[in-house]
């Protein structure tokens, strides 16, 4: 409690003086230093685990990956087994989606169609990230004439329409089209964007003080790149890769829809959508289920990319 002094400075006034606080400034400003420092990834995880959007997207992605890896867990029907007598037959016991024009089970083809689409998306993203990371890191770290040469190569590839170039090149492999052919073609024309992103992130990171300290300590350029540059430039790469995976799944479906992607004997969502377009009026379910599976999978990767971007970029989170 405060004390009231009985000797005022002026007539009719009293002087209030608070009690002396025995707590020192050192105790007030003390910070617990026994806890481990929080990293960028630790802060990102704290943000992600509180976001419902993250768990919804992760659940859909996990379901799609399990369905692609183990389709026999969901159906034991051969997706290539067809009976014309079941053409456009309605859903029945054991066949919840009905049959398509050839009498094939739509549910089985939808489940097995995830394998080709997801494999193409994952492999293409991995190759694109590898190529783009190498080009972007070398250009951003060394600069100079190497940066000019690699940047011009990136600009040339980037100027070519991605999907149109893939269609033209896939025409050259009519007799030998496989999943790996589609992956290579999509990767050849899909890496410039991540190369630009990586270059910008590396140029920003290499000017940090800890990079200057590493150089002063005599660390080699290769060690600085592998130990300091790449780990600190991976955040924008991960965000782009998450969204790009969905983009490549759509690209594979588009090529298969146009008849220049995977061969007809490979079950894929794009191929089933292409075959279902003629029956849109009389049997819309033939188109609805593979298109719905494709849309949900791509949407989940887009949502995951958005929430991961917000987690790794606090500035974007505040906007």
**Residue range 83-116, pLDDT digits in tens:** 888 888 888 888 888 888 888 899 999 999 999 9
Give the pLDDT confidence of 291-300 residue by residue, as tens digits.
999 999 999 9
Domain encompassing residue 112 = 45-82+96-318
CA distance 316 to 218: 36
Number of folded domains in the chain?
Answer: 1
Q: Are 132 and 192 in contact (CB under 8 A)?
A: yes
* Domain annotation covers residue 216: yes
pLDDT at 293: 93
Give the pLDDT confidence of 229-250 residue by residue, as tens digits.
888 888 888 888 998 999 999 9
* Domain annotation covers residue 135: yes
pLDDT at 204: 87
Residue 220 Cα to chain centre, angstroms: 32
Q: Is 51 helix (H, G, I), strand (E, B) or coil?
A: coil
pLDDT at 15: 57
Helices assigned H by DSSP within the chain: 25-28, 40-48, 52-69, 106-142, 144-159, 162-170, 179-190, 192-205, 209-216, 221-224, 230-257, 269-276, 285-312, 314-318
Least-confidence region, from 17-21, 37-41, 240-244, 305-309: 17-21
* Domain annotation covers residue 4: no
Residue 20 has pLDDT above 80, yes or no: no
The residues pairing with 95 across neighbouring beta strands, listed in sequence order, are 92
The CATH number linked to 170 is 1.10.3720.10
Residue 2 has pLDDT above 50, yes or no: no
* Domain annotation covers residue 150: yes
* Domain annotation covers residue 151: yes
* Domain annotation covers residue 10: no
Residue 29 has pLDDT above 60, yes or no: no
Higher pLDDT, 193 or 18: 193
* Domain annotation covers residue 196: yes
* Domain annotation covers residue 244: yes
285 CB neighbour count, 10 Å cutoff = 17
CA distance 227 to 220: 10
């Amino acid at each position: 409690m405060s004390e009231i002094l009985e000797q005022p400075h002026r007539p009719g006034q009293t002087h209030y003086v608070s009690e002396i606080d025995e707590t020192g400034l050192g105790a007030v400003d003390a910070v617990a230093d026994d806890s481990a420092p929080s990293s960028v990834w630790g802060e990102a995880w704290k943000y992600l685990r509180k976001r419902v959007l993250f768990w919804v997207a992760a659940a859909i992605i996990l379901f799609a990956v399990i369905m692609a890896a183990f389709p026999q867990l969901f159906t034991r029907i051969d997706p290539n087994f067809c009976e014309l007598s079941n053409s456009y037959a309605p859903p029945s016991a054991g066949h919840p989606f009905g049959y398509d024009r050839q009498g094939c089970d739509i549910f089985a083809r939808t489940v097995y169609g995830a394998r080709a689409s997801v494999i193409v998306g994952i492999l293409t993203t991995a190759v694109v990230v590898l190529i783009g990371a190498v080009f972007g890191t070398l250009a951003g770290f060394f600069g100079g004439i190497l940066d000019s040469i690699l940047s011009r190569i990136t600009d040339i590839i980037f100027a070519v329409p991605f999907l149109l170039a893939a269609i033209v090149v896939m025409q050259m492999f009519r007799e030998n089209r496989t999943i790996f052919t589609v992956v290579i073609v999509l990767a050849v024309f899909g890496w410039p964007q991540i190369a630009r992103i990586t270059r910008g992130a590396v140029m920003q990171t290499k000017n940090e003080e800890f990079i200057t300290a590493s150089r002063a300590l005599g660390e080699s350029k290769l060690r600085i790149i592998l130990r300091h540059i790449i780990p600190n430039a991976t955040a924008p790469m991960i965000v782009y890769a998450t969204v790009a995976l969905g983009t490549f799944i759509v690209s594979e479906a588009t090529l298969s829809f146009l008849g220049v992607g995977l061969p007809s004997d490979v079950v894929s969502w794009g191929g089933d959508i292409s075959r279902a377009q003629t029956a849109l009026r009389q049997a819309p379910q033939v188109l609805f289920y593979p298109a719905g599976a494709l849309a949900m999978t791509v949407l989940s990767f887009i949502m995951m990319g958005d929430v991961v971007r917000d987690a790794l970029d606090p500035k974007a989170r505040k906007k």
